[in-house]
Structure formats: structure tokens, C-alpha cells
A and B are shown apart, each in its own frame.
Chain A
């Protein structure tokens, strides 16, 4: 139709609310389902991971302190922003994975709906996972679930957008901050999702997104002493053992999940029990 040369996007990382290139200067080639070159996303390094952990740790205090209502509104805002850019995500998923239009549309629809679902959990999960405890004595005693801190996640290869959202949404719902490694083969929708995050009033550092190789970054995630927990849903079962051995150094909580479930939120929360005497 037109001879216009289109303006292609440079895919970078998403750390602390900004879009830096990998400090390593490395990229890798992503081709579409037909073998045609699509993009050169960043091959993130251990140093990029460490920078992301610093950002996530700094963001935790504020995000954790934000009211559940506020967190819910921001998650809902992410859904709104994603909804507005449906067409771009559908096209990107079709192009990179070779999915049919119907399949790509379903993935984007599910992604939006999943974010809305988690948005509604922020101010309900504590009622489900907490309790008041009728101790045998003159004490008021209650248990509240709290966020753990900084969680790293390895998103599954596929579905590349929905899998990523299923990893990060339950983690941040409770007040954790996250560093997620996107699908290696299909990382583009993850980086475009970062653009959605950047326009959703999500504080910088709450979600940080890396692209690269699981085999390279997962062991560093497991051994990093300032990461409190790890979602390894995106790894193969035979890789779990080495990751769990490395994670034992600071007794990381390490889980993999089968589906979206409130248990996925609770897994990355700590139960805190508070006692206070009752008396005149």
C-alpha cells in the first residue's frame, strides 16, 4: 500500500521504572514462527539482575505500605492500560509465536481479566489468610499475612504474556516487589507490557522485567541473598533441585505453580502473629 519504512522498536529491559539496555551490551536474536528476524532483545546479565534487586528492595517499603485499596486500583489501572493496547499485543503474539488470531486474542483477554481478578484480591486476601486466635489466657491474639519482600520469578516460555502476568500479579498483589525473567523465545510482549506498567501509576521498581536465558540467570536468582522467594514455574522439573540447593543459602521460599489461585498469593506471604495482654 505504502512504501513507508516503519519505525521499529528497540527492546530493552525494565528496571526501576526505566528502560535501560543491558549493562553487558549483549543481545540475542528473536525470530518469528516462520524464521524471519523480529528483534534483538537484551540478554540480561547477573549485574542487571543485581540492579533490579536493588530497585525492587528500595520499592518494597513503599509498595508494602500502600493501602490494599490503592494496590487494587493500580492493578486495575494496569488492566485498563492493557485493554487499551489489545491490538498491539495480539499482533505481537501472532507475529512471534505464530498463534492464530483467535488464540492470541484469547491470551490477551485472559491477561486483562486476570489482572482485574488479582486487583480484587488485594483487600480480601488478609481476611482469608489471617485469623484471630482464641488463646487460653487474657490476650488478644491475631495473625496477619504480610508480603515477604523481594520475589524473583521465572515466567514460562508459553503463554508468553499470560504466563508473565500470572507470575507477577499474585506476587505484587500482597505488597511484594518482583524481578521477572520473561519467556526467552517470545520476550516481546513482556517488554511491551513494561510500557503498560510505565503508564499505570505503578511505582518504579515494583515490577522489574528482564529478558535473557533461564539457565544463566536462574542460578543467580537462587543464590542472591537479598531475594526472599522464587517462583520457578518457568523452569523444567529436572532443573528444580539445583535451584533449591542454591536457594537454601538464605532459605528462600521456592515454589512452582499449576494455575492461578489465591494460594499463589498466599505462598509469597508470611504469617505474623501479634499478642497483647487484655486488662484494665
Chain B
């Protein structure tokens, strides 16, 4: 007789009542919202509902924002003591905590990520970044980056759509702590939490022009990168665009930091704790729909445990809840945009045509919005596109290895070097592997963990510089010795 009962999850929707979205937004320049000239819609990718019309910044708006940032830099921010600058950052951190629920709901509506993640990860971490960097503002001379560290001036910051508010915090908090002023452009498809952040700056009474926010698309980004009034470019996004930026600023004196793509190996050795490992694999690739530059998108399984891990992984994947991002039980939400969905579909099709074997659990995807079921490909070789190119979606490529040396060889066989994972109960092997892997962040028996005190950034074509920790401050201070 069957004794197991299955309980269905009841819907647990988060209310959107806490958020007021205006029908139309302008830019935030010199401490005020300024009406835009052209507008474009921002939508909820889970429903395709138009949430608002946001402004598209052109040359005039970029000029105005850079001018406001320069004025704030020369007249106010660079003259203020670090102690006072820090207090503004503490204020911002506290207001973000106060309005955390509002930010979380807005992030989920605009981005499509599960409310569980925006509520428990994105927003708390964003506030933590401001709180952490606030404390640096009056301690820069102790950071080991020169005895009298100086800010760079006006920073142009261009951020992606996968962690909109968190990436804003990674950029704005260290820039301001080090004494720079900023012109920030949120991603075209996720501008709303940055605009809410502008209100936080107003509530914190941050001096006008210290933070300027321009919404727009790639053309706005190019205007910022090429603007002669900007001293520093900080960009998070694709390696392709990162290289365009590196070339564009080559003839200038602008300093640059880049956080770019990845194709992280997640290595499972034969002595790994299998159940924990399976959780880690799921978190590594399906967290945030796989829209994560450091996602564990190449699973490397030691042959002797490959079958067992795959069996348990598929069982676990059957239980992933894909659907309404506003439901508190949802694990995997919507793909952020139609464009991104087509990229994922295209690369997954390449996996089929190049001979890998596709598997997804049965799931009922909503009829409206942009969706892609959690997917794994087995029988993947290193030559396959799905083993080499960043998919930036919930698609895992599974490869196998026999010896630890082969695992390292395969893991490092990529132009990227952002992150990697190691699963093993053997301390010496874990430390050995962490030394061999050419990547900026190594997660051992865990994955996708972030913290403001912990430097993040890549080797090789995954970028220039680090964000977070003492190392991240260097990105916003004048080079002690080199140009």
C-alpha cells in the first residue's frame, strides 16, 4: 500500500502593493529628476506587461550628467572629509534596508528573478555593500594602496540586467567611498530599481550631482564610455562589449575595470559529499535562471561517480519550481528578455546539433513571458559550443574526467577565468585544486556566494580588476606607481 502522501504547494504570492511605479520616468541629474526627450518601455519579463516608460539618454543628457558629476566632485565631494562621506553611505545603506521589501518587489517585477532571491540575496547584499564601503571612506590611507590615496574624479558606470541593484551597489559604493562622483547607466531592460535608488539618494540628502543616473541602451553606454569628461569607466557585462570598451579607451587616460563573462567549471571529485554536491550544482547553474557571469555552467564529474550524481541531479531537478517570480515558493523565474531567450534557445540547439544529449524535467511553463526549462546536456565534449560559450541561462553542460590532473586541464581550457567550483571532502585535494584553477573566485563545497568583504573578479578574458574587499578599492583610487 502506498503510504507516502504528496502535498501540493499552495500559491504564495508576494503583494506588489508596496511598490508605486510611475507611468513615465526621467533621468536623475544633479540631484533632480529631469524629463527625458525619448522614451522606451520596460516590461515584466514574466508577463510581458509594460511596467513603465523610461527615458533614453542622448548626448545632451550625458553631457549634463557628466557636468553635474564634475561640479559635485570639484565643489563638494572631493573636499569633504572621508568621515562625512562615510556617513552619507551609511545613510544610504540604512534607507535601502528600510525600503528593502519595496526594492525586492520592484526588482522581481522588472527582472523576472524569484522574489525569494531578490528578497534574500540581491537587496540585503546591496545594502551590505554600502554599509561595508561606508566604513572605508575615512580609512583609505590604511588600505595598503599608498599613503595618500586620491580619487580618480568622475566615474562612468555601466551595469548589467542580471543583478540590477546589486551591481549598482558594487559600482556606486566603492566609487563614492573613495571620493569619486558617478554617472551610472542601468541596463536597458532593468532600469527601475536604479531609479528608486535615486530617490534613496534624495532621502539621504546626498549632495546634488554625486550620483547621476541615466537610463538608456547601448548607445547611451557608448556616449558615457567615449565622454572626455569622464576619468574612469567601470563596466559589468559581456566579454565582447568589454573588449570594445578596452579599445575605445586605449587612446585616453581613463582607467578601466571590467567584470566580464565566464564559463565556470564545477568539479566533482569521487570523494565529494554527493547530496550536498547536488544542491551545489543546482545552485551553481539555476540560481537567477543561470543569468550569472560566474555560474557553474560546466559540470565536470569524475567518471566513477558520474552516474550517481546525474541520477540524483535529475531527481532534484524534477523538484525545481519554475514559474511566477512573485510566488515565494518559486525557484526559477523568467528569462530576462526576449533577446536573451533567443540566445539560450540558439545555443541549446547547437548542443543538440553537435551531438550532446538534452534533458529537462517536465514543467509547465507559463504561456506569456519568457521561459526556459532547467536543462542539462550530457555527452558534451570540450569542442562543443555549449562547453565553450557563455549561455547565460539555465543550461548545464556535463563533461567527465578520470584523474584530478585531467579535471584541471579541462577546467582551465577556456579564455575565461572568473570562477570555479570544487566538491571534495579531502582538504589537501581541495586546496591543491584551488591553487591549480586559473580563476578569480573559487568556491569549495559551496557555490555562488558573495560578500562585500570578499574580492570578486576574473583572470584572463573575464575582466580587469576586482570588486569588493580591500582589493576593490584600488579600482577607484589613482594608481600608486603605474599608468
Q: Which residues of A contact B (CB under 8 A)?
A: 128-129, 131, 133-137, 139, 141, 143, 148-149, 228, 240-242, 244-245, 247-251, 253, 255-259, 261, 263-264, 267, 270-277
Identify which of B242, B449, B480 contacts A275 (C-beta below 8 A).
Answer: B449
Selecting from B97-105, B110-118, B306-314, B436-444, the interface stretch reads B436-444
Would you give the shortest CB distance from A128 to chain B, in whole angstroms? 6
Would you give the shortest CB distance from A39 to chain B, in whole angstroms? 33
Would you give the shortest CB distance from B287 to chain A, in whole angstroms? 15
Q: Does B466 contact A (CB under 8 A)?
A: yes
Q: Does B469 contact A (CB under 8 A)?
A: yes
Are B481 and A251 neighbours in the complex by a CB distance under 8 Å? no
Q: Which residues of B contact A (CB under 8 A)?
A: 128, 144, 239, 242-243, 246-247, 250-251, 258, 260, 415, 430, 434, 438-446, 449, 451, 453-457, 459-461, 463-464, 466, 469-471, 479-483
Would you give the shortest CB distance from A157 to chain B, in whole angstroms? 18
Q: How far is the CA of A176 from the CA of B53 in the complex (A)?
A: 51
The 10 listed contacts between A and B (C-beta, < 8 Å) are A131-B470, A250-B461, A251-B239, A259-B481, A263-B482, A264-B481, A264-B482, A272-B439, A272-B440, A272-B459
Are B243 and A249 neighbours in the complex by a CB distance under 8 Å? yes
| B441 partner residues in chain A, CB cutoff 8 A | 272-273, 275
| A261 partner residues in chain B, CB cutoff 8 A | 480-481
| B430 partner residues in chain A, CB cutoff 8 A | 276
| A248 partner residues in chain B, CB cutoff 8 A | 243, 246-247, 250
Would you give the shortest CB distance from B134 to chain A, in whole angstroms? 15
| B434 partner residues in chain A, CB cutoff 8 A | 272, 274
Would you give the shortest CB distance from B154 to chain A, in whole angstroms? 21
Interface of A is mostly: mixed
Identify which of B250, B439, B471 contacts A244 (C-beta below 8 A).
Answer: B250
Are A276 and B454 neighbours in the complex by a CB distance under 8 Å? no
Are A255 and B483 neighbours in the complex by a CB distance under 8 Å? yes
Are B454 and A245 neighbours in the complex by a CB distance under 8 Å? no
Q: How far is the CA of A87 from the CA of B461 in the complex (A)?
A: 46
| A255 partner residues in chain B, CB cutoff 8 A | 482-483
| B456 partner residues in chain A, CB cutoff 8 A | 273
Identify which of A143, A149, A259 contacts B454 (C-beta below 8 A).
Answer: A143
Are A245 and B247 neighbours in the complex by a CB distance under 8 Å? yes
Would you give the shortest CB distance from B468 to chain A, in whole angstroms? 8
Shortest 10 CB-CB contacts between residues of A and residues of B: A244-B250, A248-B246, A241-B251, A135-B451, A263-B481, A255-B482, A261-B481, A133-B453, A276-B444, A245-B250
Are B460 and A228 neighbours in the complex by a CB distance under 8 Å? yes
Q: How far is the CA of A275 from the CA of B469 in the complex (A)?
A: 14
Would you give the shortest CB distance from B176 to chain A, in whole angstroms? 21
Q: How far is the CA of A35 from the CA of B62 in the complex (A)?
A: 57
| A228 partner residues in chain B, CB cutoff 8 A | 460
Q: Which residue of B has the minimal Cβ distance to A131?
A: B470
| A263 partner residues in chain B, CB cutoff 8 A | 479-482
Are B444 and A267 neighbours in the complex by a CB distance under 8 Å? no
Identify which of A128, A141, A149, A274 contacts B451 (C-beta below 8 A).
Answer: A141
Are B446 and A276 neighbours in the complex by a CB distance under 8 Å? yes
Q: Which residue of A has the minimal Cβ distance to B417?
A: A270
Are A271 and B482 neighbours in the complex by a CB distance under 8 Å? no
The answer to whether residues A275 and B443 also contact, given A143-B454, A244-B246 and a CB cut-off of 8 A, is yes
| A256 partner residues in chain B, CB cutoff 8 A | 482-483
The answer to whether residues A271 and B471 also contact, given A251-B243, A264-B482 and a CB cut-off of 8 A, is yes
| B443 partner residues in chain A, CB cutoff 8 A | 275
Are A277 and B445 neighbours in the complex by a CB distance under 8 Å? yes
Are A241 and B482 neighbours in the complex by a CB distance under 8 Å? no
The answer to whether residues A131 and B469 also contact, given A253-B464, A276-B445, A277-B446 and a CB cut-off of 8 A, is yes
| B455 partner residues in chain A, CB cutoff 8 A | 131, 133, 143, 271, 273
Q: How far is the CA of A276 from the CA of B430 in the complex (A)?
A: 9
| A277 partner residues in chain B, CB cutoff 8 A | 445-446
The answer to whether residues A128 and B144 also contact, given A137-B449, A248-B250, A271-B440 and a CB cut-off of 8 A, is yes
| B481 partner residues in chain A, CB cutoff 8 A | 257-259, 261, 263-264, 267
Identify which of A128, A249, A257, A276 contacts B482 (C-beta below 8 A).
Answer: A257
Are A275 and B453 neighbours in the complex by a CB distance under 8 Å? no
| B466 partner residues in chain A, CB cutoff 8 A | 271
Q: How far is the CA of A247 from the CA of B461 in the complex (A)?
A: 11
Are B440 and A274 neighbours in the complex by a CB distance under 8 Å? no
Would you give the shortest CB distance from B73 to chain A, in whole angstroms? 25
Given contacts A135-B453, A245-B250, 15 further A-B contacts (CB under 8 A): A141-B451, A245-B251, A248-B250, A250-B415, A251-B246, A251-B260, A255-B483, A258-B483, A263-B479, A271-B440, A272-B439, A273-B441, A273-B469, A274-B434, A275-B441
Are B451 and A133 neighbours in the complex by a CB distance under 8 Å? yes
| B463 partner residues in chain A, CB cutoff 8 A | 251
Are B454 and A135 neighbours in the complex by a CB distance under 8 Å? yes
Identify which of B128, B449, B454, B460 contacts A251 (C-beta below 8 A).
Answer: B460
The answer to whether residues A133 and B454 also contact, given A257-B482, A276-B444 and a CB cut-off of 8 A, is yes
Q: How far is the CA of A6 from the CA of B459 in the complex (A)?
A: 52
Are A136 and B250 neighbours in the complex by a CB distance under 8 Å? no
Identify which of B128, B415, B440 contacts A136 (C-beta below 8 A).
Answer: B128
Q: Which residue of A has the minimal Cβ distance to B250?
A: A244
| A128 partner residues in chain B, CB cutoff 8 A | 144
Q: Which residue of A has the minimal Cβ distance to B453?
A: A133
| B444 partner residues in chain A, CB cutoff 8 A | 274-276
Are A273 and B454 neighbours in the complex by a CB distance under 8 Å? yes
Would you give the shortest CB distance from B429 to chain A, in whole angstroms? 12
Are B449 and A139 neighbours in the complex by a CB distance under 8 Å? yes
Q: How far is the CA of A136 from the CA of B464 in the complex (A)?
A: 26
| B239 partner residues in chain A, CB cutoff 8 A | 251
Q: How far is the CA of A133 from the CA of B260 in the complex (A)?
A: 23
Would you give the shortest CB distance from A155 to chain B, in whole angstroms? 16
Would you give the shortest CB distance from A170 to chain B, in whole angstroms? 10
Q: Which residue of A has the minimal Cβ distance to B421?
A: A275
Q: How far is the CA of A241 from the CA of B253 in the complex (A)?
A: 10
Would you give the shortest CB distance from B329 to chain A, in whole angstroms? 23
| A276 partner residues in chain B, CB cutoff 8 A | 430, 444-446
Would you give the shortest CB distance from A106 to chain B, in whole angstroms? 22
Would you give the shortest CB distance from A229 to chain B, in whole angstroms? 10
Most buried by A among B258, B260, B443: B443
| A137 partner residues in chain B, CB cutoff 8 A | 449, 451
Q: How far is the CA of A10 from the CA of B243 in the complex (A)?
A: 43
The answer to whether residues A139 and B446 also contact, given A133-B451, A251-B464, A264-B482 and a CB cut-off of 8 A, is yes
| A245 partner residues in chain B, CB cutoff 8 A | 247, 250-251
| A273 partner residues in chain B, CB cutoff 8 A | 440-442, 454-456, 469
Are B445 and A251 neighbours in the complex by a CB distance under 8 Å? no
Q: How far is the CA of A261 from the CA of B67 in the complex (A)?
A: 36
| A139 partner residues in chain B, CB cutoff 8 A | 446, 449
Q: How far is the CA of A129 from the CA of B445 in the complex (A)?
A: 25
Are B453 and A251 neighbours in the complex by a CB distance under 8 Å? no
Would you give the shortest CB distance from A62 to chain B, in whole angstroms? 13
